[in-house]
C-alpha cells in the first residue's frame, strides 16, 4: 500500500495496517495542523481499495460535527488523490449513511449522539475523529463492536485522533495503565508545512508556526508542542500581571466606548482603542458591577462612574438587546436607562465562542493587545476566574453557566470589543450613521 505523503508515526501505522500487525486500539495525538485526520482517512481509503468487503466505521461524538469536518476532508481531499470522487456521488453529505466501494468495502458514517444504528452491528475497523470528546463508556462500547465473526482479526482496530487535552483525561489514564497507546504527530508530518527536501518550513508553515510561537502558557504547550497539560478550567489561562497596567488610563484624544450588560446582574466597562504602530491596543480604564439594583438607579450610578472616569466623553455606548424586552412587572430596562439620562444602542448578538476567542487572541500574544487598569477589579477578577465547562473530566470550549459575577464582565467585554474593534455591527442605516449623543449632556466628538 502506497503511503504517498504520509510521514512519521502515521507512516509506521500504514505499514503495520498493510502487514496486519496493528494494535487493537491506538490514538493519534497532535496539535491542529499536523495532518493526522487526512492521513488516517487516506490510509483507510487505500486499504479499502485493496481489500474487498471490509466494514469500516467513521464516527465522531456528534453527526453534525462529523459532516462538517471529516466527511468534507474525505470527499474533497482524499478521494481525488486516486480519482475515486464517484464514491461520494448521489447522496448529500448531511444525510449520507455510508460510502460503498466498487469491491464491496463499505464505510458507515455516524455520530454517537444518535448511535442506535451504528452500535447495532460490528465492523472490521473503526475510526473516531476527535475522540477526546467521547466518554470512556463510548470508547469501550465501540471496542466491543470491532471484530466481525468469521473474519480475519489481524486488521481489527479502533483508531482515534485528537488534539492534546488535559493531562487527567481518560485517554491519558488508559495510556498510563498500558491499555491505549498514544502515537504523537508533529507539524513536520504535514507536507504543506514542512519541506523534507529543503529540511525547512514551507512559506505557509513558517507563517503558521510563527503564530503558534507567539502563544504562551498551556495554549502554546498544546497547540505548538503537542503536550497534554492541565489548565484547571480557566478560560483565559494566559491572563496575568503583564496585562494589568496603570498606563491603561483614559486619554481624551482617543475614542471612548461604554458597554453595558444589564439585568439582575449588571456589568459595565469603559475602554479605548489606542493605536500602536499598525496595531490597535485595548485600554480598559473603568468598570462597574451591581446586583439587584433597579434599572433607573443603576443607570444613575453608571453615569456617575462616567463622570469620574472620562468627564462624560463617550463616543459610542452599547448594551444587551435583551434590555429592550417588555416584561410583566414594568417598563423595559432601556426605557428606565433613558429616563435616567443614559441612552444605549443595542449591540448585535455575536456568537459567544467567537467573542471569547477574540478576547483570547488579544490576551495570548506577546506583547498583549489588551491592558486593564488596576482599578478595574471586577474585570480583572472575571478574567482570572471565568471557567470552562467540564464534561466527563475534560474542559471543553463552552463556558460554565451561570457564573456570576464574572460572566457579566466577560459578556460586556466580548460584546463591546466585537462591535468596536472587530467591527461586528448590524447592517442598518441607523447604526451606520455617525456617533449620536448616547447620554444626555455628553459631549460628542
Q: Please, is 11 exposed, middle or buried when counting C-beta atoms within 10 Å of its C-beta (0-12, 13-18, 19+)?
A: middle
pLDDT, mean over the chain: 86
Span of 178-187, 277-286, 324-333, 401-410 with lowest mean pLDDT: 324-333
193 versus 323: the higher-pLDDT residue is: 193
Q: Report angle CA 35, 36, 39 to the nearest 5 degrees.
A: 85
Per-residue confidence at 78, pLDDT binned at 50, 70, 90?
very high
Secondary-structure class of domain 8-193 per CATH: alpha beta
The secondary structure of 86-117 as a DSSP string is: GGGTTS-GGG--EEE-TTS-EEEEEEGGG-TT
Q: Which of 170, 158, 174, 172 is nearest to 29 (CA)?
A: 172
User: What pLDDT does 312 receive?
Assistant: 86
- Average pLDDT in the 26-37 region? 94
User: What pLDDT does 324 receive?
Assistant: 52
Identify the bridge partners of residue 371 per DSSP, sorted by sequence position. 283
Q: Is the pLDDT of residue 128 over 80?
A: yes
Q: Please, is 429 exposed, middle or buried when counting C-beta atoms within 10 Å of its C-beta (0-12, 13-18, 19+)?
A: exposed
| Radius of gyration over every alpha carbon of the chain, rounded to an integer in angstroms | 27
In eight-state DSSP terms, residue 76 is I
- Average pLDDT in the 379-398 region? 85
Q: 323-351, pLDDT tens digit by residue?
A: 555 443 346 888 899 999 998 988 887 78
Q: 137-156, pLDDT tens digit by residue?
A: 889 999 989 987 777 667 89
Whole-angstrom CA distances from 30 to 17, 162, 163, 226, 233 are 20, 7, 5, 5, 20
CB 373 within 8 A of CB 310: no
**The 256-261 sheet, strands edge to edge:** 345-346, 316-319, 256-261, 265-276, 279-291, 370-372
Q: Is the pLDDT of residue 436 over 70?
A: no
**pTM of the prediction?**
0.56
Rounded to whole angstroms, how far apart are CA atoms 114 and 158?
19
Domain ranges of the chain: 8-193, 241-432
Contacts of 377 (CB under 8 A, 6+ apart): 287
Span of 122-136, 169-183, 216-230, 266-280 with lowest mean pLDDT: 216-230
Domain 241-432 bears CATH identifier 1.10.357.10: no
- Average pLDDT in the 306-335 region? 76
Q: 114-123, pLDDT tens digit by residue?
A: 766 777 788 9
Same fold for the pair 8-193 and 241-432:
no
User: What pLDDT does 137 receive?
Assistant: 86
Per-residue confidence at 15, pLDDT binned at 50, 70, 90?
very high
- Whose cell is 453529505? That residue is 93
Q: Which of 344, 340, 359 is nearest to 418 (CA)?
A: 359
Q: Is the pLDDT of residue 72 over 80?
A: yes
Amino acid at each position: 500500500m502506497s503511503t504517498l505523503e504520509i510521514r512519521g508515526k502515521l507512516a509506521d501505522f500504514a505499514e503495520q495496517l498493510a502487514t496486519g500487525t496493528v494494535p487493537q486500539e491506538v490514538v493519534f495525538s497532535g496539535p491542529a495542523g499536523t495532518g493526522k485526520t487526512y492521513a488516517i482517512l487516506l490510509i483507510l481509503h487505500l486499504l479499502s481499495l485493496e481489500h474487498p468487503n471490509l466494514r469500516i466505521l467513521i464516527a465522531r461524538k456528534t453527526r453534525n460535527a462529523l459532516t462538517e469536518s471529516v466527511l468534507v476532508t474525505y470527499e474533497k481531499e482524499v478521494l481525488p488523490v486516486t480519482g475515486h470522487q464517484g464514491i461520494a456521488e448521489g447522496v448529500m453529505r448531511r444525510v449520507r449513511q455510508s460510502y460503498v466501494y466498487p469491491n464491496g468495502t463499505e464505510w458507515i458514517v455516524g455520530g454517537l449522539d444518535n448511535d442506535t444504528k451504528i452500535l447495532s452491528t460490528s465492523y472490521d475497523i473503526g475510526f473516531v475523529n476527535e475522540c477526546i470528546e467521547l466518554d470512556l463508556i463510548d470508547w469501550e462500547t465501540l471496542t466491543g463492536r470491532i471484530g466481525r465473526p468469521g473474519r480475519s482479526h489481524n486488521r481489527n482496530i479502533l483508531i482515534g485522533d485528537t488534539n492534546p487535552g488535559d493531562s487527567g483525561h481518560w485517554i491519558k489514564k488508559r495510556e498510563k495503565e498500558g491499555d491505549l497507546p498514544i502515537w504523537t504527530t508533529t507539524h513536520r508530518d504535514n507536507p504543506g508545512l514542512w519541506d523534507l527536501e529543503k529540511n525547512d518550513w514551507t512559506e505557509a508553515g513558517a507563517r503558521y508556526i510563527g503564530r503558534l510561537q507567539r502563544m504562551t502558557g498551556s495554549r502554546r504547550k498544546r497547540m505548538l508542542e503537542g503536550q497534554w497539560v492541565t489548565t484547571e478550567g480557566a478560560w483565559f489561562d494566559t491572563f496575568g500581571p503583564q496585562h494589568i497596567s496603570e498606563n491603561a488610563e483614559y486619554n481624551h484624544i482617543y475614542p471612548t466606548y461604554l458597554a453595558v450588560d444589564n439585568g439582575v446582574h449588571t456589568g459595565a466597562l469603559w475602554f479605548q482603542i489606542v493605536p500602536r504602530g499598525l496595531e490597535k491596543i485595548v485600554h480598559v480604564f473603568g468598570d462597574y458591577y451591581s446586583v439587584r439594583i433597579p434599572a433607573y438607579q443603576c443607570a444613575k450610578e453608571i453615569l456617575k462612574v462616567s463622570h469620574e472616569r472620562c468627564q462624560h466623553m463617550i463616543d459610542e455606548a452599547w448594551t444587551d438587546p435583551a434590555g429592550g424586552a417588555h416584561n410583566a412587572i414594568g417598563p423595559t430596562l432601556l426605557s428606565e436607562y433613558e429616563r435616567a439620562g443614559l441612552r444605549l444602542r443595542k449591540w448585535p448578538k455575536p456568537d459567544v465562542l467567537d467573542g471569547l476567542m477574540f478576547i483570547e487572541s488579544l490576551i495570548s500574544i506577546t506583547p498583549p493587545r489588551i491592558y486593564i487598569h488596576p482599578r478595574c477589579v471586577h474585570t480583572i477578577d472575571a478574567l482570572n476566574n471565568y471557567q470552562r465547562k467540564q464534561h466527563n473530566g475534560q474542559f471543553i470550549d463552552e463556558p460554565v453557566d451561570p457564573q456570576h459575577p464574572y460572566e457579566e464582565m466577560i459578556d460586556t467585554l466580548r460584546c463591546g470589543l466585537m462591535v468596536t474593534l472587530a467591527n461586528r455591527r448590524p447592517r442598518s442605516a441607523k447604526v451606520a450613521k455617525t456617533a449620536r449623543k448616547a447620554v444626555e449632556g455628553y459631549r460628542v466628538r
